[in-house]
Amino acid sequence: MRRARAARDDTRETEPICADLRRLSSWRLLDKMTAEDHVYTLGIEEEFAIVDPQTRELRSHIQEILEGGKVLLKEQIKPEMHQSVVELGTEICSSITNAREHVIELRSKLASLAGKAGLRIASAGTHPFSHWRDQLITEGERYKEIVKDMQQLARANLIFGLHVHVGIPNRESAIHVMNQARYFLPHIYALSVNSPFWVGQDTGLKGYRLKVFERFPRTGIPDAFESLSEYEDYCKLLVKTGCVDNAKKIWWDIRLHPFFDTLEVRVCDAQSRVDDTLAMAALIQAVIAKLYKLLRHNTTFRVYRRRLLDENRWRASRYGIEGKLIDFGREAEVETRSLLNELIEFVSTEVDELGSKREMAHIERIMREGTGADRQLAAFQRTNDLKAVVDQIVAETYEGLTIAEADAAAR
């Protein structure tokens, strides 16, 4: 790759994953996380399918689960537009270890609630065969407005994602970190692909979920913003002109959250195993921490245009970790696994600081053994039965849960 060069504002600009950044990777984080400013804190949101254990079809049963969840999960459980989808969100987590505790607890409680109703939960980017036409829309003015606005696009948006928030209190800095983090979104998505099937068909893509979601406006990798004020002006313009009623309807793969002081990475498919979810969250946290640290040392990545990054986004969706991504510094194709190994090396110091070695070891396991999409496809190849694929997703969703009800439900 080309060497680092001086930028006009005397801020050093470096090519992604190059020798200079390997050297920079050895820098220690100068600013330790404190409870006061929430730097690098985590919040994890997971969307789950509600599944009938007999038919393996989706079941529109959210209202019954919500009634029990109001006491057990309080504000951490939310309905989604389809009644067969439920979202869980952790509280603010001080570390990846704290996040693991929250994710296991929330999944276990949700599994218990579903089990009492004779149902199961499943976590993947799409359901392998249930059709969106058969799903009921959740009651409420918000969902009526979305369907009125988006029409069939909304009704067909039967997908499940993983959203990871990383705390950065300085929103001006966060915008610049967001600009640079855009480069890594295809790498992260390649690891997270978990949606090869759609309404009973093998799509040929490892990650079909993004192809469904990008029919919506204001999705995909965002353009870069020169400043926080430019971003805020954009949000205000959308509201003023009636495009959105609030900036939460900007659904990019990464966004500066309009209400929280976080960068929210929204590109990942829902992950079946707890360990997969935590691995993705830890990698995202480490990348954000690295870029924020480099920014404080007046060192930045080159900010690439969206039209280039979209080439890698497509490759990640199509092939997952089995293909190649473009190294724009070298202007060459490189094996995705090779680039991911370089990414892990790049953030190794931050991994040490943030206490996420266990999660990085799991990233390496995914690269050896395959993604969620690879496991789904292998199950179908063994059985030629999409119900068996659902069974595998459910079994993985219940791995590592802590309560007897969840363990019994998975049997």
CB contact set of 75 (below 8 Å; sequence gap of 6+): none
Q: 373 near 320, Cβ under 8 Å?
A: yes
User: Of 61-65, 370-374, 394-398, which range is least confident?
Assistant: 61-65
Domains parsed from the chain with CATH numbers: 35-410 (3.30.590.20)
pTM of the model: 0.90
User: Of 263-277, 288-302, 367-381, 393-407, which range is least confident?
Assistant: 393-407
- Please tell me the distance from the alpha carbon of residue 58 to that of residue 47, in angstroms, as a whole number: 13
- Alpha carbons within 13 angstroms on the beta-carbon side of residue 202 total 13
- Residue range 109-138, pLDDT digits in tens: 999 999 999 999 999 999 999 999 999 888
- Residue range 18-54, pLDDT digits in tens: 433 433 333 333 344 443 456 899 999 999 999 999 9
At residue 58, the 3 state secondary structure works out as: strand
